[in-house]
Amino acid sequence: MINILTIEDDLLIAEDLKQKLIQLGYGVLGNATTCQETIDFIRTQTPDLIIADIMIEGDKDGIETVSEIYKQLLCPVIYLTANSESATVKRALATHPAAFLIKPFKMSEFAINIDLAIRNFKARFPQIPTATSKSDSIFVPDKYLYHRVYKSDILFVEADGSYIKIITSERKYQITTNLKGFEAQFDHPAFYRVSRKHLVNLDRVSRINGNMLYIRDNKTEHSITISKFERAEILSRFEIIKTKG
């Protein structure tokens, strides 16, 4: 999970920001209201990402606070501001933020810019290992929102005409693409295309019977037919104990 530190001196806004981040599937380590609080925080904990409001109380604003952070810690930063005047933006850009959001912003923009911040940071500092180095999740579109879905939570993906269904233990997502298009954007070693219709998380298979794989979630068991041409290859991906009989 990506853990985030927020810098916001309005505690109501900070709490709303926290709830939005949790809803998107992120962890929130805490909130700092001043530059000194921020520096004290990062001495004891290391966030994967910082979201900083530019206008905060104290002798240093959000931009100056980020400059102080960079003396001790390099991590991606997203600026939030209601002030889009060129002088403020120019000062902010001089600290090389990974992303920049003007208030008010939409939830879909928020999710996309967090992902953008991480990607930009990795591109600029590829030598620095972070918890964000491995992509362990995807964002699934749903009308005007993007839901964060962890790859390990996906049971299987099923083709359904011009749609695909992403099945997790908690819910089902339906998006407009085909299975081939989804595979081109998705990478995880546990997943294998077992037929024309199914991409399966092999780590979630509970039993095998002939040409059937069974995947159990909290409520039910899903049965998936595997291609007879792929059966030997699929079975080779499991550690199957052989008997003498």
pLDDT in tens, 107-119: 777 778 887 788 7
Asked if 79 and 98 count as a contact pair (C-beta separation under 8 A), the reply is no
pLDDT at 94: 87
DSSP-derived secondary structure for 70-102 = TTT----EEEEES---HHHHHHHHTT--SEEEE
Q: In what order do the strands lie in the sheet with 191-193?
A: 172-175, 163-168, 154-160, 198-201, 191-193
- CATH H-level, domain 3-124: superfamily: Response regulator (3.40.50.2300)
Q: How does residue 15 score in pLDDT terms, banded at 50, 70 and 90?
A: very high
pLDDT at 126: 65
Whether 128 shows a pLDDT value over 80: the answer reads no
Task: Name the segment(s) of the chain with CATH classification 3.40.50.2300.
Answer: 3-124
Whether 33 shows a pLDDT value over 90: the answer reads yes
pLDDT at 135: 64
Cα 190 from Cα 200, distance rounded (Å): 8
Task: Name the segment(s) of the chain with CATH classification 2.40.50.1020.
Answer: 138-235
Q: What percent of the chain has pLDDT over 70?
A: 94
| Entry pTM | 0.55
Q: Which of 52-66, 90-104, 229-243 has the highest mean pLDDT?
A: 52-66
pLDDT at 134: 45
Cα 88 from Cα 72, distance rounded (Å): 24
Question: How far is C-alpha 122 from the chain's CA centre?
Answer: 14
Candidate CATH numbers 3.30.2350.10, 3.20.20.30, 2.40.50.1020, 3.90.180.10; the one for domain 138-235: 2.40.50.1020
Least confident span in 37-51, 61-75, 139-153: 139-153
Handedness of CA 201, 203, 206, 211 (dihedral sign): positive
pLDDT in tens, 149-167: 889 899 999 999 889 999 9
